Amino acid sequence: MDELPRLPFDNPSVLGIAPEMLALQREGPITRVQTAGEDAWLVTRYDEVRTLLADRRLGLSNPHPEQSAKSAARRFMVALMFGDDHDTEAARHARMRTLLVPRFSTRRMRLMKTRIEQHVDELLDQMAAGTPPIDLHRALSFPLPTMVICDLLGVPLADRERFGQWARGTFDQSDNQHSANTFQQVVDYITELVARKRIEPGDDLLSELIAHKDGALSDAEIAHLGNAVLLFGYETTIVRIDLGTLLLLRNPAQRALLAEKPELAPAAVEEILRLGVGGKGSNAIIPRYAHSDITVGETKIRTGDAVMLAIGAANYDGRAFPDGDLFDLARHKPKSHLAFGHGVRHCIGRTLARIELTAVFERLFRRLPDLRLAVPEESLRWQEHRITGGFDEIPVTF
């Protein structure tokens, strides 16, 4: 029998979808692949990925965890999302959404928007005052989302350097010990923060959880939710600021249009989210397990099978987005991309992430009109070993 294709697929480019992934997408919506953990179904076309994300017969939890060896990083991520126990996933996850979603209210988002725009202006002023080459990652992409998480959780800005490396450490799949040690630091930090906020509450997410139903939630439950918000809430956005900058640098006409018409920033952000896939694209795959038998076209997925939903490939699918690989600010009523997932686990922080990215891309190319890479694009290194992927530096000049 022929060997199954093996994830992750090599990609000669630092951006975009691996050629083998696109070839499989051309052949059909779903195919059998090998992964580091186990054989799985890989779903690559937009319609099928979207439909399966909304299908309650798929879950994050593995009905047979003993059959799959996962990195510590993956186990922490799954546990943070209450997907670590097949019997309790549905109930515990629903409770997580009930508690977290209202914390991202329109009122809070509106208040945060003004602060975020001020942060971006300050960061760009500092950048412009520096002497290039400057590392855009360090000067802009990293500081902004970490500042925003400080505002959201009510922690001093000075703590950013401390927690700023924790998402990378926790989600480092190459070193289980490093991942476990880092995650412990997160747990200790948030546990202490919750204890402090019980005594001195503020206008922040943790204080609201403490006050919920007159203090009905335990410290441990609040800390679990706080850990998730901290660890999912900044690195994801850092990576998209870097990717968005690179995508616009690759597309000078679109970048000029955006600089001329900053009101196009929301459209630019949607294209950035849709096309922003780096390296081998491992961070653009949502893993699930079948909790019942499911049929996709001719294919029967059996209970317990692993299913990889390739949201990155789906977002490039020409069936859903004509000329799918083109960055196009003028797409007419495009379908909603899947960069934030879809269905019951649709990203809770998506409005906040959009506000941050819009504030950046409304301003970046107006404030620094000559912005360009200070190194060849091929020399940038995507950090494949982290679940979140990302670059460590983006040297630029202007």
Binding site for ligand HEM (CB under 6 A): 60, 81, 97, 228-229, 232-233, 236-237, 240, 286, 339-341, 345, 347-349, 352-353
Phi, psi (rounded to 5 degrees) for 118: -65, -45
Least distance from ligand HEM to the Cβ atom of residue 112, Å: 10
How far, in Å, CA of 18 to CA of 355, rounded? Answer: 30
For strand 395-397 and strand 372-373, is the pairing parallel, antiparallel, or unpaired?
Answer: antiparallel
Closest-approach residue to ligand HEM (CB)? 349
How many other C-beta atoms can be found within 10 angstroms of the C-beta atom of residue 12? 8
Cis peptide before 5 (omega within 30 of 0): no
How far, in Å, CA of 398 to CA of 395, rounded? Answer: 11
Nearer to ligand HEM, 94 or 128 (CB): 94
Nearer to ligand HEM, 4 or 100 (CB): 100
Least distance from ligand HEM to the Cβ atom of residue 352, Å: 5
How far, in Å, CA of 2 to CA of 300, rounded? Answer: 20
Q: Distance of CA 370 to CAs 220, 241, 251, 255, 282, Å? A: 49, 18, 14, 11, 32
Nearer to ligand HEM, 26 or 394 (CB): 394
On whether the CB atoms of residues 295 and 307 are closer than 8 A, the answer is no
Nearer to ligand HEM, 328 or 356 (CB): 356
Least distance from ligand HEM to the Cβ atom of residue 268, Å: 13
Least distance from ligand HEM to the Cβ atom of residue 347, Å: 3
Nearer to ligand HEM, 223 or 339 (CB): 339
| Burial label, 188 (beta-carbon count in 10 A; 0-12, 13-18, 19+) | exposed
How far, in Å, CA of 21 to CA of 11, rounded? Answer: 9
Handedness of CA 60, 392, 369, 248 (dihedral sign): negative
Nearer to ligand HEM, 308 or 352 (CB): 352
Token couple for 230: 């901290």
Nearer to ligand HEM, 148 or 396 (CB): 148
Least distance from ligand HEM to the Cβ atom of residue 349, Å: 2
Least distance from ligand HEM to the Cβ atom of residue 53, Å: 7
How far, in Å, CA of 282 to CA of 289, rounded? Answer: 17
For tokens 């620094």, the residue is: 368
User: Which residues are paired to 135 by β-bridges?
Assistant: 395
Nearer to ligand HEM, 60 or 294 (CB): 60
How far, in Å, CA of 230 to CA of 167, rounded? Answer: 8
Please provide the distance, in angstroms rounded to a whole number, between the alpha carbons at the two ends of the chain: 55
Least distance from ligand HEM to the Cβ atom of residue 215, Å: 23
Least distance from ligand HEM to the Cβ atom of residue 362, Å: 16
